[in-house]
Amino acid sequence: MEKFDQWPLLGGISSPADLKALPPEKMAPLAAEIRDYLIYRVTENGGHLASNLGVVELTLAIHRVFDAPRDHIIFDVGHQSYVHKLLTGRKEAFDALRQPGGISGFTKRSESEYDAFGAGHSSTAVSAAIGMAEAEYRKGSDAWTVAVIGDGALTGGLSYEGLNNCARHLRLILIINENEMSISPNTGRLARHLSKLRISRNYLKTKEFASSALRHLPLIGRPIYKVLRWTKRRIKHLLYHENLFEHMGIRYRGPVEGNDTAGLEELLRHAKRLDSAVILHVKTKKGLGYPPAEEDPNTYHALPPSGKAANGITFSAIFGQELTALATQDQRICAITAAMSCGTGLEPFRLTHPTRFYDVGIAEGHAVTFAAGLAAGGMRPVVAVYSTFLQRAYDNILHDVALQNLPVILCIDRAGLNAGDGPTHHGVFDVAMLSALPNVHIYAPVTGAGLAASLRAALEDTGLSAIRYPNGCEDPRILSAFYPDGADDGRPIGVRAWGDPAPKTALTIVTHGRMAGVALEVAGQLRAQGTPAQVLLCEYLAPYDDLADRIMPLLGGDILFLEEEVRTGGFGMSLSDALEKRGAFAHRRRRILGTENGFLIPSAGQTPLQAAGLDVASVLKAARNFIEKEGQSDAES
């Protein structure tokens, strides 16, 4: 359990009530302690650093003005909630942040009553906050709902769908935390001066006093008040130009300094007195208090655990290099990312082919339909996206790409189970989602050369293609077993075999991706114990009928399908159906091992594979039981 001897102010806070009991002059030293602690802990455990350093004062002010958990506080995205967690009874557990069995790196309803809404993906807070505020209104409650919205979330269309449905009667405060991009730039020194003046404490008090006095002045008070209000709005319009939020009927205040606790407290109390839905625009500095993060917030946005950086070139980097080279040869190739150019390896492409690189913001659905439009216009678009974020674009994939049979390539990064970020970021659904679509091609390379070959093959496809690959680097176990002549041995993408060939084998493990490493160890132990076994590595998945034709001659003994994705509707079920049509199970049994239904949450000390029952020990036990006929075939159960 974490000790806080060197952070005494933070150590004395176990709930927001403790924070409120501190005098205002303690806020600056408390903010400094929080920053120091975050730098210490996040650089060790990994996680999101720069954004959390920027929202320290804002989070302090919110918890001093509002009464959580009665008042609801929502973060979008939840990765900027570390300070919130420290202030709401979880600081002693912070040494296990993002660790199995520890606290989440995002807000999580099951973790604390202070986490009003879970948020591992972006652009959800506006809709969720409006829903919660409306629920409180329907109950006759006077509770407030406060949403802290990172400016990047406003690149997602869902935010605007929510704003379009925002009623003024709600006790709702939407705080736009601008720390990177310009939302509503002002013009000239006078405008900047008035922006500061508008949110000063004296201005707010004077404005409220004057408004109240004029409205209560007999006969002439209200007409004068209306004229002055109209005049102020016209001047503001001339200085600030159009304000989208006010045109949508929502009150707006800002932009204001977001790293001043006292000023923010005054502004939040003013917003509460308005007793209606309001948008507060605050400007914070990413990485504040840690010079490396201030100078390079992108690098310090998300850090790996200390000493756990990838050893070797990653699949993301290989993808970026190969696509950049291919685009030099083919002017039709263009790359699309949803605010993840660095994470997906597309920085080389952006620098080399800037006119064919598109960062559409946090808008995965738009990214796919935009790609469909490019494809319909004769381009060859490649959409690079994490598996967990691809889920947000499923309708666009199905309706706009697959149905129209347009040549769009989805490059799916972080495929499979991923440590650290938890169930919101496990890439376990993409295979099942895509396997249901007609005419899709799904590639599953396990080497850099295989990824390059998959890209070249996908560029020849006439419809939807998907290339999925894991986080990290090549697995040396897979390389030595399946590619003895080198990863680029000139053989076409297909099925590779290791072990005792049919018909000698008693068990065939059919797998793909990095699960081949587990399959090899299991088969090796079975062979050492006298059970002939082989492993078939599928370098592509769909079309499943074509894959089944290739696998049929190689099968021997019973079949164990092994995958790290969701079992229902996934690789094992789809390929099993195709093999059954070919009579593969007339005299042999089958078993499918994959991530079972449900969201995977490892316990303390577990890896994601162990939690899913897909580590070597668990798979070996399941394989032995299957061979010894202790368990029925999946088809029989």
Tell me the average pLDDT of the chain. Answer: 87
Do the first three CATH levels of 315-468 and 495-627 match, i.e. the same topology?
A: yes
Q: Is 333 helix (H, G, I), strand (E, B) or coil?
A: strand
Listed in sequence order, the residues at least 6 apart from 139 whose beta carbon sits closer than 8 Å to its beta carbon are none
Q: Which fold has domain 315-468?
A: Rossmann fold (3.40.50)
Would strands 540-542 and 507-512 be described as parallel, antiparallel, or unpaired? unpaired
Distance CA 566, CA 428 (A): 5
**For residue 172, what are its two tokens?**
């709702």
Q: What is the dihedral of CA 524, 530, 536, 537, to 10 degrees?
A: -10
Q: Which residue has the tokens 């295979």?
A: 431
CATH architecture of the domain covering 8-184+250-295: 3-Layer(aba) Sandwich (3.40)
pTM for the complete prediction? 0.84
Kind and range of the H or E element at 6?
A: none
Q: Compute the average pLDDT of residues 574-597.
A: 93
Percent of the chain scored above 90 by pLDDT? 61
Whether 173 contacts 73, CB under 8 Å = no
Establish whether 26 is a catalytic residue: no
Measured N-to-C along each axis, helices 616-627 and 515-528 cross at an angle, to the nearest 10 degrees, of: 50
The pLDDT score that the predictor gives to residue 199 is: 47
Torsion of CA 296, 298, 303, 308, to 10 degrees: -90
| Span 269-282, pLDDT tens digits | 999 998 889 999 89
Nearest Cα residue to 597 out of 571, 620, 565, 553: 565
Q: At what angle do helices 56-65 and 261-274 cross, to 10 degrees?
A: 40
Give the pLDDT score at 197: 38
Q: What is the pLDDT of residue 212?
A: 63
- DSSP secondary structure letters along 349-417: HHHH-GGGEEE--S-HHHHHHHHHHHHHTT-EEEEEEEHHHHGGGHHIIIIIIITTT---EEEEES-B-
More confident call, 329 vs 637: 329
β partners of residue 386: 413
- What confidence tens digit (pLDDT) does each residue in 537-557 have? 999 999 999 999 999 999 999
pLDDT in tens, 59-79: 999 999 999 999 999 998 778
User: Which residue type, as a one-letter code, is found at position 533?
Assistant: A
- Give me the architecture of the 495-627 domain, per CATH: 3-Layer(aba) Sandwich (3.40)
Highest mean pLDDT among 87-101, 326-340, 619-633: 326-340
Catalytic residue from among 178, 265, 364, 565: 364
**Cα separation, 480 vs 311, whole angstroms:** 17
pLDDT score of 231 more than 70: no
In the numeric block, which tokens belong to residue 87?
Answer: 């202030």
pLDDT at 523: 96
In the DSSP assignment, the letter for residue 91 is G
565 assigned to active site: no
Q: Which of 337, 338, 280 is nearest to 156 (CA)?
A: 338
Domain boundaries, the chain: 8-184+250-295, 186-242, 315-468, 495-627
Q: Pick the catalytic residue: 64, 98, 108, 286? A: 286
Q: What are 358's two structure tokens?
A: 């598109």
Q: Cβ distance 602 to 100 under 8 Å?
A: yes
Displacement of CA 206 from its chain's centroid (Å):
44
Rg over alpha carbons for the chain, rounded to the nearest Å, is: 28
Query: Taken in order 154, 158, 159, 164, is the CA torsion positive or negative?
Result: positive
Per-residue pLDDT tens over the stretch 467-501: 999 999 999 999 999 998 887 877 889 999 999 88
Tell me whether strands 380-386 and 409-413 are parallel, antiparallel or unpaired: parallel
- Identify which has the larger pLDDT, 256 or 222: 256
- Tell me how crowded residue 494 is: count the other CB atoms within 10 A of its CB: 13
Question: What is the per-residue pLDDT across 359-399, written as a single tens digit (0 to 9) for each?
Answer: 998 899 999 999 999 999 999 999 999 999 999 999 999 99
Provide the pLDDT for residue 249: 75
Catalytic-labelled residue, pool 392, 468, 496, 590: 392
Q: Would residue 392 show up in a list of annotated catalytic residues for this protein?
A: yes
Separation between Cα atoms, residue 624 and residue 637, nearest integer Å: 18
Q: Is the pLDDT of residue 128 over 80?
A: yes
DSSP 127-179: HHHHHHHHHHHHTT----EEEEEEGGGGGSHHHHHHHTT--TTS-EEEEEEES
The residue behind tokens 């099925």 is 495
Mean pLDDT of 140-158: 90
Helix (H) or strand (E) holding 511: strand 507-512
How many whole angstroms separate alpha carbon 500 and alpha carbon 506? 9
Given a contact cutoff of 8 angstroms between Cβ atoms, the answer to whether 280 and 267 are in contact is: yes
Q: How far is it, in rounded angstroms, from Cα 533 to Cα 527?
A: 6
290 — pLDDT class (breaks 50, 70, 90): confident
Which of 198-207, 236-245, 588-597 is least confident?
198-207
The 10 Å Cβ neighbour count of residue 165 is 13
